């Protein structure tokens, strides 16, 4: 519960003239559920992609559990215990729901140079995968084709895959995007069940969910952190109110 799990220092990324993240510094304590909010185009997804190694940072450093992971390739960051989900669902569409999770279990298990035994009969992959599906409430869809299940179920699958890599920390990019109220409710329950067990950086637009779940909240606008604090502090912050009312800030 104690100590800094993820420490971001002066992280920067620009696309052409647009500063997607601009000098972002942020500490996330171990075990905390940290919400990252901000208007569309604020750079939230870009930040998560930089943290997960899928986008190289222009400048800055990322320290995870005391280890500099700024320049590590994405797969090594994942193996170091930092997992992410995608805002735009990213799964293996032509495999079963269970296959999807089993692939993540296999990645974490670390033995993929096995050429002979059928992976679909491998209990060391299938049983843990089934448990992760149960955890997100998707066990009854295990044998469905991933492309055939509903949008909400695919979002749950994203979470199950992230969990299956047994990470210490989760980066969740709008897990409730496009969900109906009932599905969001289930997703909030999943988050609740994860709090304390995993450190979580949660990007979310649904303010009710954010204020219900978050220990701390950071607000990103035009790539910059304009406020960071407890839900009560953020609620009272004048800059945040202004940003959400759409007033201009300086370009970078």
Partner 1 sequence: MTTDPITENPGAPKSFNRFAIVLLVTLALLPPALFYSGNPFWLDVFTRLVILALAAVSLNLVLGYGGLVSFGHAAYLGLGAYAVGVPVYHATYGGFESIASYNGWVHLGLAIGVSALFALITGAICLRTRGVNFIMITMAFGQMVFYAIVSIETYGGDDGLTIDVRSEFPGISLDNPLTLYALCYLSLVAVLYLVHRITGSRFGMVLRGARANEQRMRAIGIDCYRYRLVAFVISGALCGYAGFLLGNFTTFISPEMMDWTRSGELMFIVILGGAAYLYGPIVGAIVFIILEEVLSGYTVYWHLPFGLLLIFSVLFLRGGLSGAMDKLTGRSQ
Ligand X SMILES: Nc1ncnc2c1ncn2[C@@H]1O[C@H](COP(=O)(O)OP(=O)(O)O)[C@@H](O)[C@H]1O
Does residue number 43 form part of the binding site for ligand X (CB under 6 A)? yes
CB 28 within 8 A of CB 171: no
Q: How many CB atoms lie within 10 A of CB 17?
A: 7
Figure out which of the listed residues 3, 17, 40, 248 binds ligand X, where binding follows CB under 6 A: 40
From ligand X, partner 1, Mg ion, none, which one binds at residue 156 (CB under 5 to 8 Å depending on kind)? none
CA 61 distance to own-chain centroid: 19
Q: How far, in Å, CA of 227 to CA of 220, rounded?
A: 8
Figure out which of the listed residues 11, 22, 31, 45 binds Mg ion, where binding follows CB under 5 A: 45
From partner 1, Mg ion, ligand X, none, which one binds at residue 18 (CB under 5 to 8 Å depending on kind)? ligand X
Maximal CA-CA distance, the chain: 62
- Show contacts with ligand X in window 44-83 (CB under 6 A): 44-46
DSSP string, 32-71: -EEEEE--TTSSHHHHHHHHTTSS--SEEEEEETTEE-TT
Task: Provide φ and ψ at 20, rounded to 5°.
Answer: -75, -40
Does residue number 46 form part of the binding site for Mg ion (CB under 5 A)? no
Q: Which stretch binds ligand X (CB under 6 A): 37-45, 74-82, 112-120, 231-239?
A: 37-45
Where does this chain bind partner 1 (CB under 8 A)? Answer: 52-54, 73-76, 78-79, 83-84, 86, 90-96, 98-99, 102-104, 106-108, 111-122, 125-127, 130, 142-145, 148, 161, 164-165
Shortest Cβ distance from residue 17 to ligand X (Å)? 10
Q: Which stretch binds ligand X (CB under 6 A): 34-42, 121-129, 189-197, 241-249?
A: 34-42
From ligand X, partner 1, Mg ion, none, which one binds at residue 41 (CB under 5 to 8 Å depending on kind)? ligand X
Three-class SS of residue 210? helix
Nearer Cβ to ligand X (51/163) = 51
Contacts of 107 (CB under 8 A, 6+ apart): 78, 79, 165
Task: Provide φ and ψ at 170, rounded to 5°.
Answer: -115, 135
The residues of the shown chain that bind Mg ion, judged by CB under 5 A, are 44-45, 87
């Amino acid at each position: 519960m104690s100590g800094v799990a993820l420490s971001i220092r002066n992280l920067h990324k620009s696309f052409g003239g647009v500063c997607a993240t601009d000098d972002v510094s942020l500490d996330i304590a171990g075990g905390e559920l940290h919400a990252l909010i901000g208007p569309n185009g604020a750079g939230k997804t870009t930040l998560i992609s930089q943290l997960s190694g899928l986008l190289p940072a222009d400048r800055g450093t990322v320290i995870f559990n005391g280890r500099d992971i700024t320049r590590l390739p994405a797969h090594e960051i994942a193996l170091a215990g930092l997992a992410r989900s995608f805002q735009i669902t990213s799964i293996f569409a032509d495999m079963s729901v269970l296959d999807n999770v089993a692939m993540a279990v296999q990645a974490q298990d670390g033995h993929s140079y096995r050429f002979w035994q059928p992976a679909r009969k491998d209990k060391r992959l299938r049983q843990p995968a089934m448990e992760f599906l149960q955890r997100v409430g998707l066990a009854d869809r295990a044998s469905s084709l991933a492309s055939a299940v509903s949008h909400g179920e695919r979002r749950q699958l994203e979470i199950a895959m992230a969990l299956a890599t047994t990470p210490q920390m989760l980066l969740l990019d709008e897990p409730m995007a496009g969900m109906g109220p009932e599905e969001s409710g289930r997703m909030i329950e999943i988050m609740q069940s994860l709090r304390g067990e995993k450190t979580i950086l949660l990007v979310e637009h649904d303010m009710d969910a954010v204020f219900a779940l978050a220990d701390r909240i950071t607000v990103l606008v035009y790539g910059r952190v304009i406020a960071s604090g407890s839900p009560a502090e953020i609620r009272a912050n004048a800059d945040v109110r202004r940003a959400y009312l759409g007033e201009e800030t300086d370009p970078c």
